[in-house]
Structure 1
Amino acid sequence: MAMSAALLASVVALTGRPVAAQTTAAEPIRLAMIETLSGPLANAGEAVWRNLHWAVERVNARGGVRLPGGARPLALVRMDSKGNPEEALNLLRAATDQQIGFVLQGNSSAVAAALIDALNRHNEREPSRRALFLNYSAVEPALTNERCSFWHFRFDAHADMRLNALTEVLKEDREVRKVYLIGQDYSFGQQVVRRSREMLAAKRADIEIVGEELHPMARVKDFLPYATKIRASGAQAVITGNWGNDLTLLVKAVRDLGLNVKFYTFYGNALGVPATLGEAGVGAVLAVSEWHPNVGDPGSEAMVRAFRQRFPDPRDDYLHARMQVMVEMLAQAIEKAKSTDAVAVARAMEGLNYDGRTLGGAHAGSMRAADHQFQQPLLVSVMDRVGTPGVRFDVEGSGYGFRTVRRAEAAAAAMQGACKMVRPD
């Protein structure tokens, strides 16, 4: 089958060999990354691209994916959805038309939900061209609960898991009596606001919710009106699931007003937030993640140093273990299945354990077969000056990094699911 010029360029870029040699020696296993790579949230999409690009490079550097007919390299194909669910669906059709068997997406649960529904229909209608959807950051809980799919695997902890870890720390912060909830007005942001209220009521009934706000996603240029409301409310802490520029601009507006509030965030440890807050963020910005650069084990330190050698510009400093693990586990599942067939790989992925060996032991976990929700540790960390105990690495050259304040092992971070998985015959 003929490849497009863009696809050929992707293959060359990520295998390091000319396409002619590639097609005669070993046809690449193509992965389609459908993500926002232009517009106001492009910074988040490009950051994901660097992670996945590097993960693919690492697999290819050790010879690719071992199959009975010989090892095959991975090839990552960029597809720009422009943050539009309809465009993402068009790109999914383009990917399956090219018989790309693995689709990667994460930045937007609304897009992820649309892709799952479309892939369910496609795989039923076109059994000879089935594909799998690997999700690295779309965290609406329903995606591995009521809307779970055999064709979808999530490698990030879902929103309730993340929020539960965050509120466990907030529960112990007795200085906080008033909390403001703010989020992006779509399924994920709505979920975080709703569940924050419920979890706080259960864990700290004395906390008063003094504000609850949903704003348009990626359309607010000036968050000063929202920061002004936070100031007027008397809040001592803000809980937000905001990501990308919506988070950076929010914290900048709060900083510009000189507010002394804590931020309990999902994503406050990257994409400009630490540099924007500077000294005002020390001890005041908390984030929840599966991993961070200052975990402290030798494997993690080696991974951070290798990533920064590959991407030396501090503006490109955005490393997440789950994205590395996702690509590593895909390679492991293909090898276990001895095939790139979607059904065979999905069955190999179910219940698969990853010991972190190919990442130097930096991160490990397992894919729960019942709902395809990856089970892994969760860490809550707080912003601090680089060089202080527990903060060897800063973020984005800012001089500030994050140190762990609470770690929940995978068994403690897990939550019971509500998936009723329908598997193909």
Structure 2
Amino acid sequence: MTRFLARWAGALVGAILCAAAAVAAPAAEPIPIAMIEGLSGSFGNAGEAVHRNLLLAVERVNRRGGVRLPGVARPLELLRFDGKGSSEESLAMLRAALDRRVTFVAQGNSSSVAMVLVDALNKHNQREPLSRALLLNYSAVDPALTNEKCSFWHFRFDAHADMRLAALIDVLQGDTELKKVYLIGQDYSFGQHVQRAARARLAASRPDIAIVGDELHPIGRVKDFLPYAMKIKASGAQAVLTGNWGNDLTLLVRAMREVGVDARIYSFYGNALGAPAAIGDAGVGRVLAVAEWHPNVDTPASQEFHAAFRARFPRPEEDYQHARMQVMVEMLAAAIERAGSAEAGAVAKALEGMHYDGRTLGGLHTGTMRAADHQFIQPLVVSVMDRLGAPGVRHDNEGSGYGFRTVRSFEARQTEQPHGCTMERP
């Protein structure tokens, strides 16, 4: 009995010491990702929608133990910085993030903001080689960012505007009855590029189509789109092509519905942030969108991701899902592990040429980060709006009663385009 009690006491003391050591051991330091986005103002809803996507992705990585580095597994941490949709405010937020020694910056809801941040990071990384940082771009799609403005410190995970536009116009040109198109967009770098590129592509692929309007409006400042909608109606346009996003798209399509514009809408972002509900029945079979994925892609991985997202964010107004944002965080985690370090230069080299096989997302999405220009090459899908329950529409968008079904799928090799990047490498 004495021997048993001694063994029991020894085991108890050992357990107490182990527990104490576990309590005393410091938690692994998180790897922060600074999301600099407009979280207030005209496009605050778009910024919050992005945050939900990135948060879900970060939580997934952390649930499986975080990022594995030699001798330690470190969780990811998503930090919020409100750039208010302004270049000046976003630069101030970048400085605040860099002061906190953040290595990874995520931004995307403005190409003009992205260009300012890239320029600032180029200068910072040259000046402060021991505290360099990367910009991870999930939505800023001006092609210049991976062409003449390309940077070793910038990686784009969205298809750029010319890639998206090529897919849209490939579908548009098949509409043989279409003879009149109206172009309308936001008056900043991305919107201006879409207008120019659309003119050129339409002239090359369908010279018989007349462009009956070419309009740019102030970004985020127009509250009443009725005058624009009335001009579109008066033009007799059979189709409207727009790169508008956020409230600028929702208010535009709502105004078009109010004045009775009878035209198809070829959009970059017509499947989210209030647009389907604003369009209503008038959009059935008439509103098209292009993206890397949509919730009615009919695969088990797609259905599982949609279910997981809706379980995490169940309110209808929270329903904004994008595969590319999930892929961006998964590839970042994989690149840190491949580099064996969270240092920006090492992670950038690990990201270059990386192929994502979709394994950590159950096969949801795939693609390759092209090393030459840091443009992610990925499949794209053009979809059209339809009523919930129609063939191919298992899920609606934002509780609107309307969803999108696939019209055409493009493999990654079909979306790839030449680049004009001459990259300076450290």
The bucket for the TM-score relative to the shorter chain is over 0.9
Give the paired residue count.
Answer: 405
Alignment match, 2:116: 114
For residue 201 of structure 1, report the CA deviation from its aligned partner.
0.2
Q: 2: CA distance between counterparts of 1:234 and 1:52? A: 42
Alignment match, 1:201: 203
Q: 1: CA distance between counterparts of 2:59 and 2:253? A: 35
- Is the contact between residue 233 and residue 262 of structure 2 (CA under 8 Å) also seen in structure 1? no
Q: Which amino acid aligns with 1:149?
A: S
TM-score for both structures, normalised by structure 2: 0.94
Alignment match, 2:414: 412
Alignment match, 1:262: 264
Q: 1: CA distance between counterparts of 2:273 and 2:177? A: 28
The alignment status of 1:284 with 2:286, answered yes or no, reads yes
- Is the contact between residue 22 and residue 28 of structure 1 (CA under 8 Å) also seen in structure 2? no
Tell me how large the CA RMSD over aligned residues is: 1.2
For residue 423 of structure 1, report the CA deviation from its aligned partner.
0.8
For residue 96 of structure 1, report the CA deviation from its aligned partner.
1.0
Q: Which amino acid aligns with 2:103?
A: G
Partner of residue 177 from structure 1, selected from 175, 179, 184? 179
Q: Percent identity?
A: 69
Which sections of structure 2, spanning at least 5 residues, go unmatched? 1-21
Q: 2: CA distance between counterparts of 1:323 and 1:22? A: 36
Which sections of structure 1, spanning at least 5 residues, go unmatched? 1-19
Alignment match, 1:138: 140
Partner of residue 104 from structure 2, selected from 102, 105, 116? 102
Q: 2: CA distance between counterparts of 1:197 and 1:371? A: 25
Poorly superposed stretches of 4+, deviation over 3 Å: 20-23
For residue 21 of structure 1, report the CA deviation from its aligned partner.
7.8
Alignment match, 2:232: 230
Alignment match, 1:26: 28
Partner of residue 382 from structure 1, selected from 367, 381, 384? 384
Deviations, residues 140-188 of structure 1 (Å, cap 9, x unaligned): 0000001100000000000000000000000001121100000000000
Q: 2: CA distance between counterparts of 1:259 and 1:419? A: 41
Q: 1: CA distance between counterparts of 2:209 and 2:231? A: 18
Alignment match, 1:297: 299
Q: 2: CA distance between counterparts of 1:135 and 1:55? A: 15
Q: Which amino acid aligns with 1:93?
A: R
TM-score for both structures, normalised by structure 1: 0.94
- Is the contact between residue 185 and residue 242 of structure 2 (CA under 8 Å) also seen in structure 1? yes
Deviations, residues 50-75 of structure 1 (Å, cap 9, x unaligned): 00011101110111000003100000
- Is the contact between residue 35 and residue 107 of structure 1 (CA under 8 Å) also seen in structure 2? yes
SS in 1 for 2:211: strand
* Higher-Rg member (1/2): 2
- Is the contact between residue 213 and residue 232 of structure 2 (CA under 8 Å) also seen in structure 1? yes
For residue 30 of structure 1, report the CA deviation from its aligned partner.
0.3
- Is the contact between residue 357 and residue 366 of structure 2 (CA under 8 Å) also seen in structure 1? yes
Alignment match, 1:250: 252
For residue 389 of structure 1, report the CA deviation from its aligned partner.
1.4
Going from structure 1 to structure 2, the CA distance change for 1:36 and 1:23 (only over 3 Å counts) comes to farther
Deviations, residues 251-283 of structure 1 (Å, cap 9, x unaligned): 000000112111000000000011111111101
Deviations, residues 289-333 of structure 1 (Å, cap 9, x unaligned): 001111101001000001000000011000000000000000000
Q: Which amino acid aligns with 1:275?
A: A
Deviations, residues 179-222 of structure 1 (Å, cap 9, x unaligned): 00000000000000111100000000000000000000000000
